[in-house]
Amino acid sequence: MIYTITLNPSIDYVVQVDQLNLGELNKMENEMMFPGGKGINVSRVLHELAYDTTALGFLGGVTGDFIAGELNNKGIRTAFTPIKGDTRINIKLKSGSETEINGRGPEIPPYEADDLLHQLEHVTGQDMVILSGSTPPSLTDDFHQQMIERTVESGAQFIIDTTGDSLKSVLPYRPLLVKPNKDELAELFGVTLSDQDDVIYYGKQLLDLGAQHAIVSMAGEGALLFTEEGIYQGQAPRRQVKNSVGAGDSMIAGFSGKFTETADVMEAFRMGLAAGSATAFADDLAKAGDIFPLQDKIDITRIAK
DSSP string across 262-281: H--HHHHHHHHHHHHHHHHT
> What is the number of structural domains in the chain?
1
Task: Enter the DSSP assignment of 300.
Answer: E
Task: Enter the DSSP assignment of 228.
Answer: S
Strands (E), 64-161: 77-78, 81-82, 88-95, 97-101, 128-132, 157-161
The pLDDT of 217-224, averaged and rounded, is: 84
User: Over pLDDT 70: what percentage of the chain?
Assistant: 98
Per-residue pLDDT at 124: 94
Q: Residues 6 or more apart from 163 whose CB is under 8 A from it?
A: 180, 184, 187, 188
Tens of pLDDT, residue by residue over 279-293, are 888 877 889 999 999
The pLDDT of 133-159, averaged and rounded, is: 91
Question: For the chain, how many residues are written?
Answer: 305
Interatomic CA distance for residues 271 and 233, integer angstroms:
14
Tens of pLDDT, residue by residue over 41-90, are 999 999 999 999 999 999 999 999 999 999 999 999 999 999 999 999 99
Long-range contacts of 116-121 (CB under 8 A, 24+ apart): 116/5, 116/56, 116/57, 116/58, 116/81, 116/147, 117/146, 117/147, 117/150, 119/56, 119/79, 119/81, 120/147, 120/150, 120/151, 120/154, 121/150, 121/154
- Look at residue 23 and tell me whether its pLDDT is greater than 70: yes
Is 65 labeled as catalytic in the residue annotation? no
Query: What's the chain's average pLDDT?
Result: 92
- Look at residue 305 and tell me whether its pLDDT is greater than 80: no
- Look at residue 239 and tell me whether its pLDDT is greater than 80: no
Per-residue pLDDT at 240: 67
Interatomic CA distance for residues 252 and 130, integer angstroms:
9
Per-residue pLDDT at 260: 96
Work out the pLDDT band at 2, boundaries 50, 70, 90.
very high
Amino acid (one-letter) located at 210: G
Per-residue pLDDT at 241: 67
Per-residue pLDDT at 236: 85
Tens of pLDDT, residue by residue over 108-142, are 999 999 999 999 988 999 999 999 988 888 999 88
HSE on the CB side for 180, CA within 13 Å? Answer: 25
* 3-class DSSP assignment, residue 220: helix
Interatomic CA distance for residues 64 and 15, integer angstroms:
20
Strands (E), the chain: 2-6, 10-16, 30-36, 53-59, 77-78, 81-82, 88-95, 97-101, 128-132, 157-161, 177-178, 214-217, 223-226, 231-235, 299-304
Residue 100 is part of a domain; what is its CATH number?
3.40.1190.20
Per-residue pLDDT at 243: 64
| Greater pLDDT, 208 or 92 | 208
Give the structural domain span for 200. Answer: 2-304
Q: Which of 86, 249, 264, 283 is catalytic?
A: 249
Per-residue pLDDT at 259: 97
Whole-model pTM? 0.92
Tens of pLDDT, residue by residue over 169-192, are 899 999 999 999 999 999 999 999
